[in-house]
Chain A
Amino acid sequence: MADAIILARGLSKRFGEFTAVDAIDLEVERGVIFAFLGANGSGKSTTIRMLIGLLTPSAGTIVLDGIDVGLHPRRVRERIGYMGQKVSLYAGLTLRENVEFYAGLYGIEEGDLERRWGAVRERFGLAQAEHERPENLPAGVRQRAGLALSTLHAPRLLFLDEPTAGVDVESRGLFWELIQDASDEGVTVFVTTHFLEEADYCDRVAFIDAGRLIADSTPEGLRARYSSGYRIEAQLAAGSRERVLAELGRAGFAAEAQGDQLVVRVPALDSEGMRRLGLVLGPEAAASVRIEQASMNEVFRRLIREGVALAEPPAGAAA
């Protein structure tokens, strides 16, 4: 990959006899949202701690944003933002005081701080919380404040370890909008979660099991490989049913008529397939189209049951 902001090769971590992470390769392209998923105890947190320079690998190399983490762990930390499972806000200090404390750590000048914090505060909806202490804030607001702090120094790479754990559905939605906005501005986001439906908010998904990578793909790639894919049905007037069925066949779709419905099955719905399907079904069927998609929970259950470790580096997996 030409422009990888995270490049890890042969990354391993052993604790005594136990191998927590077993020779994994990771390449994360700049600007993507990269989901790093796995079961409890699979090696997820150990990998993140190695990537951000908190834990020394037993073997392997890590280059973040062109810097070798093993050689320059401190230089790397200036370029990354990290938010852990427990939000690292100091209890007893107001949010504003926390902000000033972090700004001091990152060497952000006062004038610069006002500008940056002002922007982040508006965007993250934190104005009302500014003079509250974190322990008095609802979990969702506290998580947003944690994310705001981890982005204060404008890092190009964000590590978010279960940022939405214990957060209600409304705050989770808002949180993902903020993450997607950051990504649209070119920030790379490396994120873990147990809400598997959130994998669909990401551009790439890797799955670690017992210390080995067993998947590294797009959400659609996983859906195509580990589920029954898509079932699309449309209701059509008797007059046009035969014609549309024939057109679907010509466009390469496996379609059949069931009563007054046409049913199409596809393993994945890529851009081209979506466009062709939209054209063939056309406006006359639009109001009756129903697309059923396998849930990510389903996909991952099957992946864990069937998954085998990736033998080779995932060349082209990000396509």
Chain B
Amino acid sequence: MSAPVAAPAPRIRLRGLRKRYGPRVALAGVDLELEGPGIVGVVGPDGAGKTTLLRCLAGLLEVEADEANVLGVDLRGDVRALKARVGYVPQVFGLQRELSVAENLAFTARLHRLAAGKWRRRAAELLERTGLTAFSARPAGALSGGMKQKLAIANALLPEPDLLLLDEPTAGVDVLARGEIWELLEERRRAMLILLSTSYLDEAEACERLVYLDDGRVIAFGPPAELRASVKLDLYRAWADDPRATARAIRTLPFVSSARATGRFVRVEVARTDTPGVESVLAALRSLPDAPVEIAEPAPIDMESTLLALARRGPAEREAVR
């Protein structure tokens, strides 16, 4: 008898993945190589192609590509073998609204031909973990927004897919329900490859790797820390009594690219190409006329500045290519 062979790590290899909707180009040649497991964030501006990419990976769209391999299945051919191993949660609630919470799970179990003994235990556990046990008889359509999302994710997890694709799973979801959803994902980050799109900065930071899309292409790819380090910006915080007035004054400084009042301080971004040096920036911030800054400090680049810088880099790099 041979020893059991460990399942190969879930794998995605895309080269030049293209998708058009009529005349509109949604994906303009995506190159991406991922080997799971782990949580990968798909980020980028509205209209960048995030939803289209996730739908392609789920085998839902016809695509053109030089290579498009997901879990060993070619996206350009018959993708039936892929669908059994992929969980996909779209942005718009996609479960049966008239069926109860429990019935939706039973329906999914039957679709995937899961053994009754196994799925019932797993379903009960998923409901428990998402706080939905008490609502299992309620029609899915009558759940609150956060509960609907938790149910959709529990439902996608029920068949234990190798690849889980979540399109903005926490949009409009409150902080506690977001925490519960992330706990579910964290527990599975060693067991499956999870790709999720998100607009939340703390969620992007919690991913192992980020794929930054803009205009249908991958502009940046790597761990959050690496992306932060690639940004050619310095961030400062100017603590002031009236941050909004101070922000207006700071915007008049020639080397400042942006200044926004945030609570007690002003977030100030300075491009490395324009900076007169840390000491000079701090001195200039502290000596603004009519807008006293009590404390000015250099701050580490955060996810907000990183994503903003990447959004600006997108168009610049396309210009350079032309």
Q: Which residues of A contact B (CB under 8 A)?
A: 38-42, 85, 138-140, 162, 165-173, 176-177, 180, 184, 194-197, 200-201, 219-220, 269, 271, 274-275, 277-278, 281, 283, 286-287, 289-291, 293, 295, 297, 300-301, 304
B97 at interface by CB-CB < 8 Å = no
Contact residue among B146, B173, B178, B260 (Cβ-Cβ distance under 8 Å from A177): B260
Residue from the set B296, B297, B304 with the largest chain A CB neighbour count within 10 Å: B297
Cβ proximity bits B172-216 to A, threshold 8 Å, 1 near / 0 not: 111111110000000000000000000111100000000000000
Whether A169 and B304, one on each chain, are in contact in the complex, defined by CB atoms closer than 8 angstroms, is yes
Whether B307 and A180, one on each chain, are in contact in the complex, defined by CB atoms closer than 8 angstroms, is no
Contact residue among A139, A201, A274, A295 (Cβ-Cβ distance under 8 Å from B294): A274
Whether A297 and B202, one on each chain, are in contact in the complex, defined by CB atoms closer than 8 angstroms, is yes
* In the bound complex, CA of A110 to CA of B90 (Å): 44
B263 at interface by CB-CB < 8 Å = yes
B162 at interface by CB-CB < 8 Å = no
B244 at interface by CB-CB < 8 Å = yes
Neighbouring B residues of A286 by C-beta, 8 Å: 282, 286, 295-297
Q: Please provide the chain B residues from 247 to 266 with a CB less than 8 Å away from any CB of chain A in the complex.
A: 258, 260-265
* In the bound complex, CA of A180 to CA of B200 (Å): 21
Whether A41 and B146, one on each chain, are in contact in the complex, defined by CB atoms closer than 8 angstroms, is yes
* In the bound complex, CA of A6 to CA of B78 (Å): 60
Neighbouring B residues of A166 by C-beta, 8 Å: 46, 168, 171-172, 199
Contact residue among A138, A170, A301 (Cβ-Cβ distance under 8 Å from B175): A301
Contact residue among A171, A184, A220, A271 (Cβ-Cβ distance under 8 Å from B46): A171
Whether B308 and A169, one on each chain, are in contact in the complex, defined by CB atoms closer than 8 angstroms, is yes
B47 at interface by CB-CB < 8 Å = yes
A sample of 23 inter-chain contacts (CB < 8 A) reads A39-B175, A39-B177, A41-B147, A138-B46, A165-B171, A165-B172, A167-B199, A168-B311, A169-B201, A169-B304, A169-B307, A169-B308, A170-B308, A173-B304, A176-B260, A194-B173, A200-B263, A201-B263, A219-B263, A275-B294, A291-B239, A297-B202, A301-B175
> Main secondary structure on chain B at its contact with chain A?
mixed
Q: Which residues of B contact A (CB under 8 A)?
A: 44-47, 144-147, 168, 171-179, 199-202, 237, 239-241, 244, 258, 260-265, 278-279, 282-283, 286, 294-299, 304, 307-308, 311
> Main secondary structure on chain A at its contact with chain B?
helix
Neighbouring A residues of B265 by C-beta, 8 Å: 291
Whether A201 and B175, one on each chain, are in contact in the complex, defined by CB atoms closer than 8 angstroms, is no
Whether A40 and B147, one on each chain, are in contact in the complex, defined by CB atoms closer than 8 angstroms, is yes
Known A-B contacts A85-B172, A169-B199; the reply to A291 vs B295 at CB < 8 A is yes
B9 CB to closest chain A CB (Å) equals 31
Whether B263 and A289, one on each chain, are in contact in the complex, defined by CB atoms closer than 8 angstroms, is no
* In the bound complex, CA of A139 to CA of B50 (Å): 13
B104 CB to closest chain A CB (Å) equals 19
Contact residue among A170, A176, A289, A301 (Cβ-Cβ distance under 8 Å from B295): A289
Whether B294 and A194, one on each chain, are in contact in the complex, defined by CB atoms closer than 8 angstroms, is no
Neighbouring B residues of A290 by C-beta, 8 Å: 297, 299
Whether A301 and B179, one on each chain, are in contact in the complex, defined by CB atoms closer than 8 angstroms, is yes
Known A-B contacts A40-B146, A169-B304; the reply to A291 vs B176 at CB < 8 A is no
* In the bound complex, CA of A201 to CA of B265 (Å): 10
Known A-B contacts A138-B47, A291-B239, A304-B176; the reply to A220 vs B201 at CB < 8 A is no
A222 CB to closest chain B CB (Å) equals 11
Known A-B contacts A180-B244, A287-B282; the reply to A140 vs B46 at CB < 8 A is yes
* In the bound complex, CA of A300 to CA of B260 (Å): 23
Whether B239 and A269, one on each chain, are in contact in the complex, defined by CB atoms closer than 8 angstroms, is yes
Whether A170 and B145, one on each chain, are in contact in the complex, defined by CB atoms closer than 8 angstroms, is no
Whether B46 and A287, one on each chain, are in contact in the complex, defined by CB atoms closer than 8 angstroms, is no
Neighbouring B residues of A162 by C-beta, 8 Å: 172
* In the bound complex, CA of A281 to CA of B294 (Å): 10
